[in-house]
Amino acid sequence: MKTNKATKYVFTYTIAFVFLSSHFMLGQSAELLKKRRQTLSAMVDKGIVIIQSTERNQSNLYEFFIPNSDNHDFIYFTGLETPNATLVLCPGSEIYPEILYIGGDIEHIKEQTGIQHVYPYKNLLPDLSNAYSDFSQLRYTQRRFKSLPSEIARILYNNGGKKVVYFNFPRFVNLNEPPPQRMKLIRRFEGFSPKYEMRDACDLIDLLRMYKDKYEIEQMRKATRISGEAMMECMKSARPGIS
């Protein structure tokens, strides 16, 4: 069968839709992204929040049809689409309220995201390891020379009670497949101390993302308009005999 005008229009508008949607999604202002992070932090009663980017979902997830859907939370709060990156929020901290571990141009990422404390991804596990100790047990020298992990430890301390960590657990899982790679970090938290209480950050994130801000509504309207134009062009080209 020969390629017809309708097919060409569908292809052209689909490419435009994908490009524009991706461009708009990643073109969010640093002010907007910061406001989203602050809103999430205000919803947390204690502990820290860890949101990791994801490279892929598990295989055979029939319930959800959007590729790499777990990565959308990281994009929502940072505007960045990249593997091997972790956002750490420390509600109540005046020194390190937001920390981002990522690869790439640090200064450019600071400008893009509005996050002042950006570090190479390789620093994540060493910093969390140092923060794992009870704040009350940290020596003065350690607090002085390792201020970032010491501040995380202080936020986690909770007066000797449960140390709460909110984490972006997978929303959809296939128990017959290997667990997502980022679950290893959670198992490390739980495996070394019974004091840690892991909570699902998605319970808060889903509630936050349910209410669309002005930027999101604008992009949804643009996407709808592009889709509508594509459908109109297809209908103009439709005639008997076209598949």
Write the secondary structure of the chain as one string of H (helix), E (strand) and C (coil): CCCCHHHHHHHHHHHHHHHHHHHHHCCCCHHHHHHHHHHHHHHCCCCEEEEECCCCCCCCCCCCCCCCHHHHHHHHHHCCCCCCCEEEECCCCCCCCEEEECCCCHHHHHHHHCCCEEECHHHHHHHHHHHCCCHHHCCHHHHHHCHHHHHHHHHHHHHHCCEEEEECCCCCCCCCCCCCCCHHHHHHHHHHCCCEEEEECHHHHHHHHHCCCHHHHHHHHHHHHHHHHHHHHHHHHCCCCCC
**Residue (of 154, 99, 159) closest to 132 by Cα position:** 154
pLDDT at 208: 93
CATH 3.40.350.10 correct for 44-211 = yes
How many residues comprise the chain? 243
For the whole model, what pTM was predicted? 0.80
pLDDT at 13: 53
**Residue (of 216, 188, 207, 52) closest to 126 by Cα position:** 188
At 66, list the tokens. 């959007």
pLDDT in tens, the chain (243 residues): 444 555 555 555 555 544 444 444 456 789 999 999 999 999 999 999 999 998 766 676 665 556 566 788 999 999 998 889 999 999 989 999 999 999 999 999 999 999 999 999 999 999 998 888 776 666 666 766 788 998 998 998 888 889 999 999 988 777 888 888 888 888 888 888 888 999 999 999 999 999 998 999 999 999 999 999 999 998 888 888 887
d(CA 166, CA 47): 7
- Beta-carbon neighbour count of residue 160 at 10 Å? 10
- The domain locations on the chain are 1-29+212-243, 44-211
Bridge partners, 165 (sequence order)? 48, 198
pLDDT at 63: 56
At 144, list the tokens. 């002085």
